[in-house]
Structure 1
Amino acid sequence: MQDPKMKLHCGFLFFNMAVIFGLHEKDLDFELVFIDWIAGESKTKSFLSNLNPFGQVPVLEDGDLKLFESKAITRYLAEQYKEEGTNLLPNDPKKRAIVSMWMEVDTNQFLPVALTLIKELIVKPYQGLATDFTSVQENKEKLSEILNIYETRLRESPYLAGQSFTLADLHHLPPIHYLLNTEEEEVKSLIYSRPSVAAWVEKMKCRPAWLKTVVMQEHIVDLMNRRRLPKQSDSSCHELTADVAQKTAMVIGKN
């Protein structure tokens, strides 16, 4: 039975988004505790000593259990609440091993490339830093090679680990969501020019749990905007500050 005191300490979304997605897939009630990492709330003595000594979010509290690192959290949710919501881990050991394999592929192959592209195409421009277009091109080529492998895999099965949606798919969608929101059309084309990859992405984007996650993302961005807006300002200043705050929410990292 779910502990009624389950809390998710969460900042702006990326790794955070995967955990929120997982909680919604498992149809679990939880309290969202907004952590303003820009203001240093994840670096306070209390946070470091009680929640995560590395000063990062997300952190899940489920009764007396405290967990950080997004993949550890979602795996716990899948195992502890197996009978709730979507079954994110198969019962068969061989099938579970395939899920684990594709999660490792995400960690070691897909995610480093996606993070670099997001950093160069979203984070740096909003920080006023110059984009390294050499790095962008190199990583677009790497992403293309990775997606070729995914395309072959997804021709064989509708999801990475087989016939059903699992943790392997869940952890891919948040970075893909960000890649699709860059202004680099070629990055979007790398995803949508591959029919099986495109179908996989669209299926995941239509999941009710994902739609709830996007709504919660908007709520978190709104919380951030309200923290950043001056109490008194003319309309032009208000709009500019809100725009900067919303774009800052795209900053990537375990924040």
Structure 2
Amino acid sequence: MPGAVKVFGSPTSAEVARVLACLFEKDVEFQLIRVDSFRGAKRMPQYLKLQPHGEALTFEDGNVTLVESRKILRHIADKYKNQGNPDLIGMGALERSSIEQWLQTEAQSFDVPSADLVYSLAFLPPTMQLDGSGGKPKAAYDGSCGEERDGRDRQGSRQRQRGGDPEMNAAHRQKVEEMQQLFEKSRKELSKVLDIYEQRLDEAKYLAGDKFTLADLSHLPNADRLAADPRSLQMLQSRKNVSRWWADISGLDSWKHVKSLNRPPSAEAPF
């Protein structure tokens, strides 16, 4: 029944984007009800009824309501297995087992460090570069004074020159230090995961075998965010097989459709 599938959320959310990519892959008609999870009391009443704590995603398919993106992927791929891409969930027990293994790897080992890395880079100075060895930032060259400085010191120096509230400056420096620690921790964890992927993708075209499946699709939102920043993009590009894999899956029409939806929320948009 057209319109039976509804997705409440914003395409800018990784959870929502993951589900939308799956719906496009399976050629499932759906209605996207855009909800900005940061607008507090202005959130849509029917969304708050479904999701009283205001999480990023709610999925409705007839009398089925789900809120966890990977459970939704499994539901879509299984219920609509006879339409769209037939390979997403696998054809037999062995294929499904492999797909499930890599889905769990994405959820347990890739999701958090990749999200934390992107989050930390949003706070750290854009001049900071990855050194490719231990996650430490490279010193950034400051042409105005003719010497190399750590990106964090340069930002602090500009603040001191402008003056301002010392307590605010101290709080900012503390925040930058926290983000640098988070960056170093998440980069180390993510590097280990990507090394495993590099080895796996030397054996197969995709993570679960030679077909694009949910195992690959579930990585799209966070990997896209990594690719959007040159400092984290090199983590993908420096691994030949991972780089090839990412170029392949990020070029899919389904993902291009999802990215085209990233515009300010409005009331409703049927698809």
Shorter-chain TM-score above 0.5: yes
Q: Is the 8 A contact 1:42 1:56 kept in 2?
A: no
Q: Is the 8 A contact 1:42 1:48 kept in 2?
A: no
- Change over 3 Å in CA distance of 1:58–1:171 after alignment to 2: same
CA distance in 2, matches of 1:14, 1:22: 13
**How far has the Cα of 1:54 moved from its partner?**
3.6
1:67 aligns with 2:114: no
Q: Deviations over 1:187-243 (max 9, x none)?
A: 2111111111001001001111111111112xxx3337x9xxxxxxxxxxxxxxxxx
Q: Is the 8 A contact 2:9 2:37 kept in 1?
A: no
CA distance in 1, matches of 2:84, 2:74: 14
> Which residue of 1 is the match for residue 109 of structure 2?
109
Cα RMSD for the two superposed structures: 2.3
1:195 aligns with 2:194: no
Structure 1 or 2: more helix by fraction: 1
**Secondary structure of the residue that 1:177 maps to in structure 2?**
helix
TM-score normalised by structure 2 residue count: 0.73
> Which residue of 2 is the match for residue 120 of structure 1?
120
Q: Deviations over 1:65-122 (max 9, x none)?
A: 2111111111100000001111211121111011111111111111111111122123
- Change over 3 Å in CA distance of 1:187–1:82 after alignment to 2: same
1:4 aligns with 2:3: yes
Q: Is the 8 A contact 1:42 1:55 kept in 2?
A: no
1:143 aligns with 2:164: no
Q: Give the percent of matched residue pairs that are identical in Structure 1 and Structure 2.
A: 28
Where does structure 1 differ by over 6 angstroms across 4 or more consecutive aligned residues? Answer: 42-45
> Which residue of 1 is the match for residue 265 of structure 2?
223
CA distance in 2, matches of 1:46, 1:151: 44
> Which residue of 2 is the match for residue 231 of structure 1?
none
Question: 1:1-255, aligned counterparts within 5 Å?
Answer: 2-11=1-10, 12-40=12-40, 46-49=46-49, 51-87=50-86, 88-122=88-122, 130-131=175-176, 132-182=179-229, 185-217=230-262, 221-223=263-265
- Change over 3 Å in CA distance of 1:93–1:135 after alignment to 2: same
TM-score normalised by structure 1 residue count: 0.78
Of 110-119 and 51-60, the range deviating more from structure 2: 51-60
CA distance in 2, matches of 1:31, 1:109: 31
User: Match of 2:3, as an amino acid?
Assistant: P
User: Match of 1:52, as an amino acid?
Assistant: Q
Unmatched runs of 5 consecutive residues or more in structure 1: 227-255
Instruction: Point out the structure with max Rg over C-alpha.
Output: 2
Count of residues in correspondence between the two structures: 216
Unmatched runs of 5 consecutive residues or more in structure 2: 126-170
Q: Is the 8 A contact 2:20 2:258 kept in 1?
A: yes
